[in-house]
């Protein structure tokens, strides 16, 4: 499982101001703790800072990589900000561009950068017709987008298809479960393109609901069984990270359970809670 740490995002409380103040301490800690917790990539997003986004994302990209050396998921629909961040990215591992879609303007502005830099790209099952209503619509939009990406020479292994997780509390149709539609779509993606990666922003599913971590933890396990191999999550959620290890072992994505055993021996897999003996 490829883990993309989601915590460096100026939509989170206090981080917009921290970028404005160039507070290195805040972002160095956010970067370091996510990598220590198991993140393979770090997402950098300062989309709330529209007028200064180009300068801000360059500052963030340089700072985060200086602290950790981790490759980045460059998270912006702004092509100028994307290009600026790509130019300062360092290291052997290519960045991931987050994201491209089938929307004509967005696709046309981003595809040149994907090809020029040979980076990975998160591909949203979305086009000019708007958000898909269900799994089959997601698959149809993804087919059109995949045809364009492959036709433009993007290797299938560089593509991270995103089934668009939506908040389960926002559906007004009692017959429609946004969680179930994502699971159906992940399975359909893997059947249609066996070599493609499948990525999802796990925490999107719980937006607006109480006790969000419980929902996120349950959802990531279900998504792994359905074919998810790349997750944008909070790696500092230790229970979620343990469940990722366990789920991969259970569905055969961890040969001989090697990763699970290594994590257990290192003390990174532990009981959820210790039962206290009853007092007599």
Per-residue pLDDT tens for 78-89?
Answer: 999 999 999 999
Tens of pLDDT, residue by residue over 46-94, are 999 999 999 999 999 999 999 999 999 999 999 999 999 999 999 999 9
Q: Residue 208's closest CA among 177, 248, 236, 171?
A: 171
Supply the mean pLDDT for the chain: 95
Global pTM exceeds 0.85: yes
- Extract the tokens encoding 89: 């990215």
The Cβ of residue 250 has, within 10 Å, a number of other Cβ atoms equal to 14
Lowest mean pLDDT among 20-29, 79-88, 265-274: 265-274
H or E element in which residue 83 lies: helix 79-88
The top-level CATH class assigned to 2-265 is alpha beta
Read off the pLDDT of each residue in 221-247 and give the average, rounded to a whole number. Answer: 97
Is the pLDDT reported for residue 199 higher than 70?
yes
| Rounded Cα distance, 164 and 167, in Å | 10
Burial class (CB in 10 A: 0-12, 13-18, 19+), 193: middle
Tens of pLDDT, residue by residue over 147-179, are 999 999 999 999 999 999 999 999 889 889 999
Residue-range domain boundaries for the chain:
2-265
User: In this predicted structure, what is the pLDDT of residue 270?
Assistant: 82
Read off the pLDDT of each residue in 221-239 and give the average, rounded to a whole number. Answer: 98
Taking 3-state DSSP, the helix, strand and coil percentages for the chain, each rounded to the nearest 5, stand at 50, 15, 30
SS3 234: coil
The Cβ of residue 275 has, within 10 Å, a number of other Cβ atoms equal to 6
| Rounded Cα distance, 233 and 158, in Å | 20
| Rounded Cα distance, 69 and 112, in Å | 26
């Amino acid at each position: 499982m490829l883990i993309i740490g989601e915590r460096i995002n100026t939509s989170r409380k206090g981080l917009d101001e921290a970028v404005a103040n160039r507070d290195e301490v805040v972002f160095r800690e956010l970067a370091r703790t996510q990598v220590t917790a198991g993140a393979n990539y770090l997402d950098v997003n300062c989309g709330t800072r529209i007028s200064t986004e180009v300068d801000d994302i360059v500052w963030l990209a340089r700072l985060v990589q200086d602290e950790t050396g981790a490759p980045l998921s460059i998270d912006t629909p702004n092509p100028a900000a994307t290009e600026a961040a790509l130019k300062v990215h360092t290291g052997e591992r290519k960045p991931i561009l987050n994201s491209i879609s089938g929307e004509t303007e967005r696709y046309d502005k981003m595809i040149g950068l994907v090809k020029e830099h040979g980076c990975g790209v998160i591909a949203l099952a979305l086009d000019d017709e708007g958000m898909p209503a269900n799994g089959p619509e997601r698959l149809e939009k993804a087919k059109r987008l995949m045809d364009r990406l492959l036709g433009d020479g993007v290797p299938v292994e560089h593509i991270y298809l995103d089934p668009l997780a939506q908040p389960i509390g926002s559906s007004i149709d009692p017959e429609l479960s946004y969680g179930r539609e994502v699971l159906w779509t992940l399975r359909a993606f893997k059947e249609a393109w066996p070599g493609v990666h499948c990525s999802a922003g796990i925490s999107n599913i719980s937006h607006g609901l109480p006790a969000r971590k419980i929902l996120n933890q349950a959802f990531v396990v279900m998504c792994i069984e359905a074919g998810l191999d790349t997750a944008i999550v909070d790696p500092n959620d230790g229970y979620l990270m343990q469940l990722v290890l366990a789920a991969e072992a259970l569905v055969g994505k961890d040969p001989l359970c090697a990763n699970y055993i290594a994590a257990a021996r290192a003390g990174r897999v532990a009981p959820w809670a210790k039962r206290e003996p009853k007092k007599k």
